[in-house]
Amino acid sequence: MPVPRCSGPCGGVRPAALRRPRTGGAVCRSCFCNAFEAEVLSTLQTGRLLPPGAVVAVGASGGKDSTVLAHVLRALDARHGLALDLHLVAVDEGIGGYRDAALAAVRRQAGRWRLPLTVVAYADLFGGWTMDEVARRAAQEPGRARACCTFCGVLRRRALEEGAQRVGATHIVTGHNADDMAETVLMNFLRGDSGRLARGGTLGSPGEGGALPRCRPLQFASQKEIVLYAHFQELDYFSEECVYAPEAFRGHVRDLLKALEAARPSVVLDLVHSAERLALAPAARPPPPGACTRCGALSSRSLCQACALLDGLNRGRPRLAIGKGRKGLGEEGEKQSCTSKDSSGGPSRAGAIQAF
Ligand SMILES: Nc1ncnc2c1ncn2[C@@H]1O[C@H](COP(=O)(O)OP(=O)(O)OP(=O)(O)O)[C@@H](O)[C@H]1O
């Protein structure tokens, strides 16, 4: 079959290199990358996510999403004069055989892009607890092993905030993509978590209670397109799965979403957009949050999630922190790590590419 010409803005000067998952159009590499970047710019501008002069902490995991995010922000900053001061902030959760290799990728990126890098470690921030220690402790509690992602996600959120504050950031950005967001919407539905469901549709959080504003500029970019973009830009990233990922409920939700996507390709973006339009009925709204009595972070209980988890761990009773009755501490409240990498339907990187 002859390779079609590009149907993008180049006007067919070049042969098409792929069929865009998002639109189905046959486009060349250059038109695809330009369109991808323009869509991220539109997300930034429409949501007024990063004002000129913003000091931006990019949550850098070394994975494809945050790698693409940092690369695109650099490119947009240079091309459109966004006046962003970009910093990479990486969290070392202390996951042997996983995070060390991912951090090595982040260090290479920081060197190549000449971006300042700050690494914050759970062990330093949380009284010696590493994720491996937490997992060992959780494994002693029947049925608790799969709660690792809950612990990790809650603590990572806190650690990223700490790292960002250290570099004087005014904003935090993370690489959550449309697939991540759709999974989260579905998970919240399945758990009946209406509060999170109503909050989850926004492009980020405004930064209440002293916390920095957070946003997700790749929220409307599909995983497939992110993998394609990384491939065409020849980005160096880490694509192994977290050792604790197989335990996570999110994996089942992801499988369900893949099955739905096969029947209805627009299902991922449909879910993301439907979440944007959800609002809680006044009677269902939780009371306004106050401050954690221990660390001062915004919290709807006397102890915030991170302090409650650490409290439970330090008392040798992790069940206290994550058991039933503590609504809001469901597994992987937001999209946290512990993901199957490149679950775009095929093997990592080029394996997911629909190239001609
Ligand atoms: N260890 C970490 N240090 C800093 N930021 C992190 C870390 N882990 C996750 N993040 C941030 O949270 C986002 C979502 O992470 P998660 O691992 O859940 O998803 P992912 O789809 O695998 O993303 P990525 O491909 O960037 O690893 C990442 O894109 C990144 O911005």
Q: What is the pLDDT of residues 229-260, one digit of tens each?
A: 999 999 999 999 888 887 678 889 999 999 99
* Same domain flag for 253 and 127: yes
pLDDT for res 355: 33
What phi and psi, each to the nearest 5 degrees, are found at residue 12? 85, 10
Residues tagged in the binding site annotation for ATP: 59-61, 65, 91, 175, 180
* Same domain flag for 6 and 59: no
Beta bridge partners of 55: 85
Q: Is the CB of 188 under 6 A from ligand 1?
A: no
Q: Is the CB of 60 under 6 A from ligand 1?
A: yes
Most confident among 172-181, 239-248, 312-321 (mean pLDDT): 172-181
Q: Is the CB of 90 under 6 A from ligand 1?
A: yes
Is 189 part of any domain? Answer: yes
Q: What is the DSSP letter of 179?
A: H
Helix 131-139, helix 148-166: angle, nearest 10: 160
Of 265, 287, 309, the last residue of a domain is 287
Is 344 part of any domain? Answer: no
* Same domain flag for 185 and 216: yes
Residues 24-40: pLDDT tens digits?
899 999 999 999 999 99
Residues 258-309: pLDDT tens digits?
999 999 989 999 999 888 877 767 777 767 778 899 988 888 888 988 999 8
Q: Which sign does the torsion angle of CA 9, 179, 216, 121 carry?
A: negative
- At residue 344 the predicted structure's pLDDT band, cuts being 50, 70 and 90, is very low
Q: What is the mean pLDDT of the chain?
A: 85
- At residue 144 the predicted structure's pLDDT band, cuts being 50, 70 and 90, is low
Show Cβ contacts of residue 350 under 8 Å, excluding neighbours closer than 6 positions.
Answer: 231
* Same domain flag for 52 and 198: yes
Residue type, 42: S
Count of CB atoms within 10 A of residue 236's CB?
12
Is 350 part of any domain? Answer: no
Is 304 part of any domain? Answer: no
* Same domain flag for 124 and 206: yes
Show Cβ contacts of residue 246 under 8 Å, excluding neighbours closer than 6 positions.
Answer: none
- At residue 340 the predicted structure's pLDDT band, cuts being 50, 70 and 90, is very low
Is 42 part of any domain? Answer: yes
Question: Count of domains in the chain?
Answer: 2
Asked if 5 and 12 count as a contact pair (C-beta separation under 8 A), the reply is yes
Residue type, 327: K
pLDDT for res 338: 42
Asked if 173 and 57 count as a contact pair (C-beta separation under 8 A), the reply is yes
pLDDT for res 169: 98
Residue 3 has pLDDT above 80, yes or no: yes
Q: Which sign does the torsion angle of CA 49, 298, 159, 141 carry?
A: negative
Of 287, 315, 334, the last residue of a domain is 287
Q: What CATH number is attached to the domain comprising 63?
A: 3.40.50.620
* Same domain flag for 173 and 258: yes
Q: Is the CB of 91 under 6 A from ligand 1?
A: yes
Residues 103-133: pLDDT tens digits?
999 999 999 999 999 999 999 999 999 999 9
Give the integer Cα–Cα distance in Å for 192 and 221: 26
Rounded to two decimals, the ipTM of the complex is 0.96
Question: Which residue in 252, 265, 280 sits closest to 183, CA to CA?
Answer: 252
Is 171 part of any domain? Answer: yes
pTM, whole model, 2 decimals? Answer: 0.87
- Residue with CA nearest ligand 1 atom 8: 61
Residues tagged in the binding site annotation: 59-61, 65, 91, 175, 180
Mean pLDDT on 35-47: 96
What phi and psi, each to the nearest 5 degrees, are found at residue 118? -120, 130
Helix (H, G, I), strand (E, B) or coil at 285: coil
* Same domain flag for 36 and 102: no
Give the integer Cα–Cα distance in Å for 45 and 60: 22
* Same domain flag for 262 and 120: yes
Give the integer Cα–Cα distance in Å for 50 and 52: 7
Q: What is the DSSP letter of 147?
A: G
Ligand 1: which atom is nearest the Cα of residue 103? Answer: 1
Is 349 part of any domain? Answer: no
* Same domain flag for 76 and 216: yes
Q: Is the CB of 61 under 6 A from ligand 1?
A: yes
pLDDT for res 163: 98
Q: For residue 157, report the distance from its CA to the centre of ligand 1, in Å.
A: 11
* Same domain flag for 13 and 148: no
* Same domain flag for 23 and 144: no
pLDDT for res 143: 61
pLDDT for res 151: 83
Runs of H (alpha helix) within 81-222: 99-113, 122-125, 131-139, 148-166, 178-191, 194-199
Domain of residue 77, residue span: 47-287
Instruction: Give the containing element (helix H, strand E) for 215.
Output: strand 214-215
* Same domain flag for 227 and 278: yes
Q: Is the CB of 65 under 6 A from ligand 1?
A: yes
Of 230, 264, 287, the last residue of a domain is 287
Is 334 part of any domain? Answer: no
Beta bridge partners of 57: 87, 172
pLDDT for res 317: 62
Question: Which residue in 272, 77, 75, 35 sits closest to 177, CA to CA?
Answer: 272
